A and B are shown apart, each in its own frame.
Chain A
Amino acid sequence: MKLSVAWLRELVELPTEIDAIVDRMTMLGLEVEDVASVGLSYPHVVVGHVLDAQPHPNADRLRVCRVSVGDGELNIVCGASNVRTGLKVLVAKPGAVLPGDFKIKKSKIRGEESHGMICSERELGLGDAHEGILELSEGDIGQPADALYGFQDTAIEIEVTPNRPDWLSHIGVARELGAFYEKPVSIPDVGQLPAVGNDDAGWRVDIVDRSACSLFTGRLVDGLAVGPSPLWLRHRLLSIGQRSINNVVDVSNLVLHECGQPNHVFDRQLLSGMEIRVRRATEGEKLTTLDATERELAAEHLVIADAEKAVALAGIMGGAETEVTTATTEAFVEVAVFDPRVVRKGRRRVNLVSDASYRFERGVDFNRVEWASQRVAQLLTQVAGAKASDTVIRTLGDAPPKPARFFVRASQVNRVVGVPIPPQDIAAMLGRLEIPASAVTNDGAPGVAVEQPSFRHDLLEEVDAVEEVARLYGYDRIEVMPHAPMVRPGVRSDRERFVGRVRERLAGRGYSEVVYTSFMNEQDPDRLNLPATDTRRVTVNVLNPLVVGEEALRTSLVPELLRIVDRNRKRGHTDPVRLFHLGRTFEPRAGETLPCEVERLALAWNGSAHKAHFDRPARDIDLYDVLGETENILESMGVDAVRNVQGGEPYHRNGAGVVIESRDGQRLGVVGEIAPSVRRAFDLDQATFVAEFDVDALVASGRSDLGFQRFSMYPPVRRDLSLLVPSAVPYAEVVGCLRESLDPLLESHEVFDLYEGEGIAANERAIGVRLVLRSQSGTLKDKKVDGMLSRLLTTLEQRHGARLRA
């Protein structure tokens, strides 16, 4: 909402400096969005007198005028039909710049010299009239236009929080500033309020839905002369960014921005019957609103209707049919209070926010209604030559608001604000905000009795008044203590520790952390090749997605991770790509309102295994790199993980995915290569690998007690075995035999060679295994080792048909 500083100054005395006012507003809670100079100024535009106007020799519609501008005469070609000798006009001389950066220069029009321009209202930015040039009744020849039409003001745009609808008006903001500066607010004098009646000249008002409208007033105004508004009114509206329409509409608008009370003026002659009804719309009823849109109404809309039909959407917008026009002479001025929820529902349904609906939704001042009605009548009398009726038709609905009355403990103010403020001071502060308050004692407790003013919908109980006291006392005056309060040292959960460590480690190993959307594309389950029965096809969906097709919350971190790999490749990233992401997946739970949110860790690999170097050419990353990396990371996190090769994901390449489990068979996650078809679906042209883990499962299987493990001080024995093993026997089986035969002396084993091909039977492969054996209790003797290895070889032979390579 925009505020005019000049207008505010008329209502309350304010500091000269705009900055001081803006700072104060900010510190009172009025959020200032923008401060701008506004106004109209017309250098090189002066009052002129048309000495004569001759037809243009070469153009039918143009005239060549001789215009006196005080210090001389100008020859000006003018196209307006109303230009004639003797007219007093505004002349833009060469050098003038009119609104819209319209520069006036000497020119030749159809062969005739023209030294300026005679202006219309629109060219001056004063209004919409552009049919002809502006005809002046006042002003001296040569007088600068600024003296007649110019004005300067500052517009402050504020954002008003929903709790303070009273700030949606100049009077409301003036009241707030007055309270701070301790200056009285001078509300315009509207004279004696007229008598109140149930009807006037046969006109009556019937509130059918009494819960939706607590007060409705109507005022009959006759003898209107609808026309342009006087300058002061136009300037006022221009200052706050409102267009001038005509004197009647402008008055209605002005009163809204002055006191915050919406109101509407109907052309009374266009209303049928002499009865106004405030009722619900019938289903499908039609109304064309002022914005020339035909709207189909529903039962949740409250309308103002005449004897026949709806003529306005109550509290939202008037109807076009009964709008005030230049032909209007008799008006019906409506000022009412509508239920905030009813207006809110209605305007949401028609998807229309107006100045009126905005205020009704937040709450207007019940006790300001009759004043506003009188103010409209007063101004119409003043600027449109009208005569208002002596009576206000006033009809009450259900339940006029009852002010809340409550007690504010001085101790509570002290407790919350942290500053002791005596009850008398509290009462005085509230009093300055026009909140009735008096220092009293309640049950022996000193405090303040408060009554809610009708313009403060937010003041309902003690805490609301405490805030007012804090605000007026000034948040900036509350002292900062040297120590922040503390209850006990903070604690960290296992998950928090785990996640913190794994992130650091991954980054240290060359992985970049990525952060991305929780939504997935509806086609992602297909792209991932998930079978129809896969639970990841069952998603939590939002009803109002930003993008159609992206309503589902992700059930896997993989799809978007693949897109990120792809994006980086497309943008020319050539180095190895190693990414990780920590985030949640969402799984609906039968019988539960909220889904299960699973914290997951995903990793992606793509490209070469390492950066190319001059003596070490790049090599494509493969599954063994990925498995090794993954297991290394898990091991470093204290997770004792094993591979289950009987698993993998539907999106894994056939035979290239494993499930990672804890020793006790708990599923931790999966690692594998993306299937070529899935890769194509994500537009990736290189081999890509992903892993996805359940973080809580990792945390649970990680070593939480970091107990010391004894290690041997005796020398190790190394032995290399070159084994011939049938190809069908997986290495894990060999390891099983190693463990069985050599534990607890087996310290480590590694595959230093793997060979299939020439020199070896087709169904066999040679595996070179390097063993490290060590005893906790003494130096191992060769003889003992030889004995154990020979037992190992027997086992390998008997169980798997493996033997030493000759």
Chain B
Amino acid sequence: MSIQVHGLVKRYGPLTAVAGVSFEVAAGEIFGLTGPDGAGKSSLFRMLTTLMRPDEGGGKVVGFDMLDEFLEIRRRIGYMPDVFSLYEDLTVRENLNFFARVFGVRIEDNYHLIREVYEPLKPFEGRRAGHLSGGMKQKLALSCALIHQPQALFLDEPTTGVDAVSRKEFWDILYRIRARGVAILVATPYMDEAARCDRLALMQQGRLLTQGTPQALLESYPHHLYAIEVAQPWRWLELLRSHPKVHRAVLAGEVIHVSSLEPLDLTYMRQWLVDSGVTAANFYPVQPDIEDLFIALMDQKAHPTGL
């Protein structure tokens, strides 16, 4: 195991940001961490990268103890924090030089590790990092995190605020890094990205709600899920929620997702929809996605969002 931690706790005064988190990541595995802002993802990253000591718990990162051997860990990991943390007043090339020298490597020796990420930046090598677009900053930050050939890569929301196309490109790059045997821990608020991980954990209020392969997680979905295809779906949510067998009704793109604690009779529900004035609707069972699972698990943990 490249990362192996247990019972990690971090408190800030009265607030418990991380409330007992345990998981493992193997070499050559992408482990995803998904959850909303404030779930504790960044605090977890800062502990794993040894920038912050946990209040409780511990473990090993790339074979070294988080608490006693943090200098060894720092030499062997790459970290992309959730805010852009390169030198904005240095050029692209100067930033890369800086990180290479800090880690005692030569760019020429390790260039093959960053070629595909760094190549699009080549025409802009003389530009100050602060003047790059969001997508280019992201590529530079990843290049700087990779130049010393880390055994584990910690990416804290690398694609937040990045458009759907650039996100897809970023993931293609992650797959190629994984193929070199690097352990990758990646946090993302986009749950469609979560499904691209080898394994993932859903995080909420400092705790992991669940973890496993995306497929195993989806198979663990605790309710029965149906979709309703209807024009202007938002108009029918209140009606659906009034039905005693409907546990939850939420918008889900072009359809409504309806969950229930026990299986629903399709013929009966279709008739009920017609009788209730929802004509031209299509009602059918549907496979849950990661967001459906997240919502179901939030329910079970008595989610206090005020909704």
To the question of whether A and B form a pair in one complex, the answer is no
* Chain B residues proximal to chain A, CB less than 8 Å: none
